[in-house]
Amino acid sequence: MLFLTFTGQMSGQKPTIEVQPSSIDVSPWYSTVKARVILKNGGMRTLARSSLSAVTNDALRVVIGKQDTPALPAGGVSVWPVEIREVDKARLPGSVLFDALYTTDDGTREHAYASLAIKLTDAGQQKPVEISVHGTFDSIAANRPGLGCLLATNNLDVPVNITRIDVTLPPSLHLPANKTPGPFIVPPRSATRQGIELDAAASVTPGKYSVPFELRAEWDALGHHESRTLVVNQDATVGVFFESEILKALGVPSFLLLPGCLFIFTMQLLLAFGLFGLVRT
DSSP string covering 185-228, please?
Answer: EE-TTEEEEEEEEEEE-SS---EEEEEEEEEEEEEEETTEEEEE
Secondary-structure class of domain 16-120 per CATH: mainly beta
- The residue type of 30 is Y
Q: Which CATH architecture has domain 129-238?
A: Sandwich (2.60)
Is the model's pLDDT at 186 over the cut of 90? Answer: yes
- Residue 269: pLDDT above 70? no
pLDDT tier at 214 (50, 70, 90 boundaries)? very high
Range among 123-127, 179-183, 246-250 with highest mean pLDDT value:
179-183
Contact 9/43 with Cβ under 8 angstroms? Answer: yes
Model confidence at 264, pLDDT cuts 50, 70, 90, reads low
160 within 8 A of 186, measured Cβ to Cβ:
yes
- Which of 66-80, 157-171, 196-210, 259-273 is the least confident region? 259-273
pLDDT at residue 263 greater than cutoff 60? no
pLDDT at 143: 84
Three-state SS for 56? coil
Given this model, what pLDDT does residue 232 score? 94
44: closest CA among 15, 6, 79, 77? 15
Q: H-helix or E-strand containing 48?
A: strand 47-55
What band does 181 get if pLDDT is binned at 50, 70 and 90?
Answer: confident
| Reported confidence tier of residue 87, pLDDT bands at 50, 70, 90 | confident
pTM as predicted: 0.49
Q: Which residue has the higher pLDDT, 191 or 89?
A: 191
Mean pLDDT of the chain: 82
Q: For 149-155, what is the mean pLDDT?
A: 92
Q: Is 281 exposed, middle or buried (0-12, 13-18, 19+ CB in 10 A)?
A: exposed
* pLDDT of residue 9 exceeding 60: no
Cα distance between residue 72 and residue 77, in whole Å = 7
The alpha-helical segments, DSSP class H, found in the chain are 245-250, 259-272
Answer whether residue 18 shows pLDDT above 80: yes
Collect all residues with Cβ–Cβ distance below 8 Å to 245 and sequence separation of at least 6: none
pLDDT at residue 25, rounded to an integer: 87
Residue 250 has pLDDT above 90, yes or no: no
pLDDT at 280 over 90: no
User: Domain map of the chain by residue range?
Assistant: 16-120, 129-238
d(CA 198, CA 189) in angstroms, rounded, equals 29
pLDDT digits (tens, 9 = 90+) for 91-111: 888 999 999 999 988 888 999
